[in-house]
């Protein structure tokens, strides 16, 4: 029984989110919206944490992968799902859900492929170069999307409109739970000891026989995949997306969550994602001070407490016993 | 052909500004081995101090001949920004000198965001017109090329600053200390170099050049806003990497290459089926290519990490 605790927790969370999703009509729409934002930010932050925190590869382009996923999933939904419907036995809960799942996966896979393409050359480089390359990649994605034709599938600078609002509480939190589960098991597995090894000392890890490039690329691709999924969820929640919404300030937002939560601490990052998203929502009136406060926090944190705001919980960072 | 030469010239002017900013990145990287993300924002502040100065003493400046007032504005805002660069280093980067480089990088991002958003609070988010410090008259010369006075001044000032920097780095004692520090910080301390002073000096010098770059940039594109430093800053960083980071002539060369490539894509991309809007992404494509094929840059030396 004890062996399967995490799997059972995963199952419970997924079922719970399904339950809440079914009852979602009973909750206030505004709070539901905040909850969905929280979920999407959890996916983004936990997946970025795998790259930045656990593997120590500082990426500043998470929004780019989110954009790729958002566009991939939206285009799939807009272009393909009408054609898929008859094959799945007409529009129904199952067919719509299946088509949405396919769209999300397409978005996630597109993002993962992009992650691989960017990661392969750039992960051979030292940390700060990677930060700039990913930041550059973010800009490249934005520039390309912005310069597509306005009436093509990508929608040009105005982006895509009229994406069906398929994102529900269930999808967001089921995927968030899966993301936490996958990242958590990757990192705490025997294989996964390689991630912190690469982070702590790449040369030493390499000389112990760890294929450092492969670990880095694995982290990068998995991180990009989940960023892509969150992009798909975001697109089907907001129903409109534009290239400007995925600029590097969006990447910085995720980076701030990861750093405040504590790089490499999954629990800390989840809490940070919740707290910061909710705070953002309630401090909308002070929007102009938000980034100012975040930036000061970043600087002070790095000087005073680089390991994140939370103390580390030994229970949550459970080691495998026996 | 004329049009080609014109584009080439425009690229040269644009590139010379990138070169000025790139020098700051390269020098700081040379002594501290980290990317000063906030550099592009000092560039922005340079333009804003010039604007403020112009508002403050507009009549006095207007009564002087324009080269004199330009020189005054340049010198004053370069001094102010140099002081600011030194303050940034002392407050944000110095406490982290022995920490992992990732922490310093994150701090640099924090400093950059801090400057941008406090500038937004102070100056507002809207575009502001930049005064004509340099007359915007065009000199049309023989080949049918149009060059404005501003462009010529930009090029001349850049060359003068580059020459000045070259002298500082190669001929002065401080320059010698900078080179020693960049080669080996421990050994330079043992030789009696005060590393902290040299690092402060480097930050000051780099920030002064960035401020000059900001003013010149704003003279070519006379509209400034708090986020104007991000794009040129990133491109200048690419220029520094392209030329070989830590290498001063390399940064200048990289800046020119980026400027020219960008302008050519803007001018001729259409004919090759590349929308002119893609010119914004050119620098980053170049960056990825250079990092794949020659990560040490055009003039850089290969550096092996020692255990």
Interval A35-78: pLDDT, tens: 999 999 999 999 999 998 888 888 888 999 999 999 999 999 98
User: Which segments of chain A are extended strands (E)?
Assistant: none
pLDDT tens digits for range A101-141: 999 999 999 999 999 988 887 777 776 778 888 888 898 89
Residue B75: both structure tokens together: 């010198």
User: Which two tokens mark A181?
Assistant: 């589960």
Interface check B289 vs A, CB under 8 A: no
| Yes or no, beta carbons of B113 and A298 under 8 Å apart | yes
Nearest residue in chain A measured CA to CA from B107: A299
Q: What was the pLDDT predicted at A162?
A: 86
Tell whether B60 is covered by a domain: yes
Average pLDDT, chain B: 85
- Is pLDDT above 70 for B127? yes
Alpha carbons B92 and A49: distance in angstroms, whole number:
24
Q: Is the pLDDT of residue A316 over 50?
A: no
By CB atoms closer than 10 A (0-12, 13-18, 19+), residue A94 is exposed
Q: How many CB pairs under 8 A join A and B?
A: 115
Nearest-CA distance A256 → chain B (Å)? 9
Q: Any chain A CB within 8 A of the CB of B288?
A: yes
- State the average pLDDT over residues B141-165: 81
Angstrom distance (rounded) from CA B90 to CA A91: 64
Q: Do A127 and B105 touch (CB under 8 A)?
A: yes
Question: What is the average per-residue pLDDT within A159-186?
Answer: 89
Closest chain B residue by Cα to residue A251? B109
CA distance linking residue B262 with residue B284, whole number of Å: 11
> Using CA atoms, how far apart are residues A239 and B133, in angstroms rounded to an integer?
47
User: In this complex, which of B100, B113, B234 lies closest to A252 when CB atoms are compared?
Assistant: B113
Look at chain B and report how many structural domains it folds into: 1
d(CA A31, CA A38): 10
pLDDT at B41: 92
The answer to whether the Cβ–Cβ distance between B118 and A136 falls below 8 Å is no
Nearest to B285 among A140, A146, A303 (CB): A140
Per DSSP, B98 falls in state: T
Give dist(CA B28, CA B248) in Å, integer: 11
Q: Which residue has the higher pLDDT, B21 or B304?
A: B21
User: Which pTM value belongs to this model?
Assistant: 0.86
* d(C-alpha B184, C-alpha A170), whole Å: 57
Q: Please indicate, yes or no, if residue B293 is contained in any of the structural domains.
A: no
CA distance from start to end of chain B: 54
Confidence (pLDDT) at A315:
43
Give the closest of B110, B277, B284 to A136, CB-based. B284
* Burial (0-12, 13-18, 19+ Cβ within 10 Å), B7: middle
Residue in chain B lying closest to A140 (CA): B281
Is the pLDDT score of A153 beyond 70?
Answer: yes
Is the per-residue pLDDT at B216 higher than 60? Answer: yes
Nearest-Cα residue of chain A relative to residue B306: A203
User: Which is higher by pLDDT, A213 or B147?
Assistant: A213
> Shortest CB distance from A132 goes to which of B35, B111, B121?
B35
Flag if A140 and B92 touch (Cβ within 8 Å). Answer: no
Q: Cβ B103–A296 below 8 Å, yes or no?
A: no
Q: Tell me, what's the pLDDT at A38? A: 93
Burial of B2 (0-12, 13-18, 19+ CB in 10 A): exposed
B162 occurs within a structural domain: yes
Interchain CB contact of A303 with B (< 8 Å):
yes
Interchain pair A252, B237: CB under 8 A: no
Phi, psi of B130 (to 5 degrees): -100, 135
B289 Cβ contact partners less than 8 Å away, ≥ 6 residues apart: none
pLDDT, position A314? 45
% of chain B at pLDDT higher than 90: 21
Euclidean distance between CA atoms B213 and B39, whole angstroms:
11
- B305 assigned to some structural domain: no
Nearest CB partner across the interface for B114, out of A131, A132, A299:
A299
Asked if residue B76 belongs to a domain, the reply is yes
pLDDT score, position A321? 40
pLDDT higher than 70, residue A11: yes
Distance from CA of A113 to the nearest CA of B (A): 17
Question: B114 is in which domain, residue-wise?
Answer: 17-227
CB contacts, 8 Å: B102 with chain A: 56, 58, 127
Give yes or no for a contact between A63 and A246, defined as CB atoms under 8 angstroms apart: yes
The end-to-end CA distance of chain A, in Å, is 15
Cα separation, B113 vs B105, whole angstroms = 13
Chain B CB contacts of A124 below 8 Å: 295
Does B296 fall in a domain? no
For residue B118, which residues of chain A lie inside 8 Å, CB to CB?
292
Interchain CB contact of B101 with A (< 8 Å): yes
What would the 3-class secondary structure string for A172-185 be?
HHHHHHHHHHHHHH
pLDDT of residue B302: 63
- Closest residue in chain B to residue A133, using alpha carbons only: B288
Answer whether A117's CB lies under 8 Å from A78's CB.
no
């Amino acid at each position: 029984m004890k062996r399967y605790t995490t799997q059972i927790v995963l199952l419970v969370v997924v079922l719970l989110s399904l339950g809440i999703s079914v009852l979602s009509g009973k909750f206030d729409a505004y709070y539901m919206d905040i909850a969905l934002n929280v979920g999407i930010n959890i996916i983004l932050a936990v997946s970025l944490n795998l790259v930045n925190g656990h593997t120590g590869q500082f990426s500043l382009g998470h929004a780019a992968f989110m954009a790729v996923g958002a566009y991939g999933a939206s285009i799939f939904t807009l272009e393909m799902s009408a054609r898929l419907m008859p094959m799945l036995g007409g529009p129904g809960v199952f067919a719509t859900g299946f088509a949405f799942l396919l769209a999300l996966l397409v978005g996630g896979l597109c993002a993962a492929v992009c992650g691989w393409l960017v990661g392969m050359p750039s992960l051979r480089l030292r940390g700060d170069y990677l930060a700039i390359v990913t930041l550059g990649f973010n800009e490249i994605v934005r520039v390309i999307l912005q310069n597509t034709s306005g009436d093509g599938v990508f929608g040009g600078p105005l982006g895509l409109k009229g994406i069906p609002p398929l994102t529900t509480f269930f999808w967001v939190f089921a995927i968030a739970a899966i993301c936490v589960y996958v990242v958590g098991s990757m990192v705490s597995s025997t294989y996964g000891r390689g991630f912190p090894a690469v982070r702590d000392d790449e040369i030493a890890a390499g000389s112990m026989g760890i294929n450092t490039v492969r670990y880095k690329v694995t982290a990068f691709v998995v991180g990009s995949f989940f960023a892509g999924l969150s992009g798909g969820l975001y697109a089907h929640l907001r129903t409109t997306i534009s290239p400007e919404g995925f600029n590097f300030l969006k990447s910085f937002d995720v980076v701030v969550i990861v750093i405040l939560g504590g790089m490499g601490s999954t629990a800390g990052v989840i809490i940070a994602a919740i707290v910061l998203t909710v705070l953002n929502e309630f401090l909308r009136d002070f929007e102009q001070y938000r980034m100012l406060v975040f930036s000061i926090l970043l600087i002070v944190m790095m000087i005073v407490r680089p390991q994140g705001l939370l103390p580390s919980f030994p229970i949550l960072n459970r080691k495998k016993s026996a | 052909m004329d049009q080609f030469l014109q584009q080439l010239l425009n690229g040269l002017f644009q590139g010379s500004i990138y070169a000025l900013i790139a020098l700051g990145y390269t020098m700081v990287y040379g002594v501290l081995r980290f990317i000063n993300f906030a550099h592009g924002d000092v560039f922005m502040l340079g333009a804003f101090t010039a604007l403020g100065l112009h508002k403050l003493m507009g009549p006095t400046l207007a009564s002087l001949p324009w080269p004199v007032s330009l020189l005054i504005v340049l010198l004053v805002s370069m001094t102010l920004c140099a002081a600011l660069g030194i303050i940034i280093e002392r407050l944000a980067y110095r406490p982290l000198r022995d920490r992992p480089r990732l922490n310093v990088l994150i701090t640099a991002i924090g400093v950059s965001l801090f400057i941008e958003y406090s500038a937004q609070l102070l100056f507002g988010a809207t575009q502001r017109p930049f005064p004509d410090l340099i007359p915007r008259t065009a000199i049309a010369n023989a080949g049918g090329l149009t060059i404005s006075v501003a462009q010529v001044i930009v090029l001349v000032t850049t060359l003068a600053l580059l020459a000045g920097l070259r002298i500082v780095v190669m001929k002065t004692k401080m320059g010698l200390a900078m080179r020693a520090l960049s080669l080996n910080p421990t050994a330079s301390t043992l030789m009696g170099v005060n590393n902290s002073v040299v690092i402060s000096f480097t930050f000051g010098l780099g920030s002064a050049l960035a401020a000059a770059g900001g003013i010149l940039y704003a003279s070519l594109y006379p509209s400034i806003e708090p986020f104007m430093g991000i794009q040129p800053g990133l491109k200048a960083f690419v220029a520094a990497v392209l030329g070989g980071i830590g290498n001063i002539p390399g940064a200048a060369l990289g800046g020119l290459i980026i400027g020219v490539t960008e302008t050519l894509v803007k001018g001729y991309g259409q004919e090759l089926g590349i929308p002119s809007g893609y010119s914004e992404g050119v620098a980053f494509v170049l960056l990825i290519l250079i990092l794949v094929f020659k990560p040490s840059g055009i003039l850089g030396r290969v550096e092996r990490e020692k255990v």
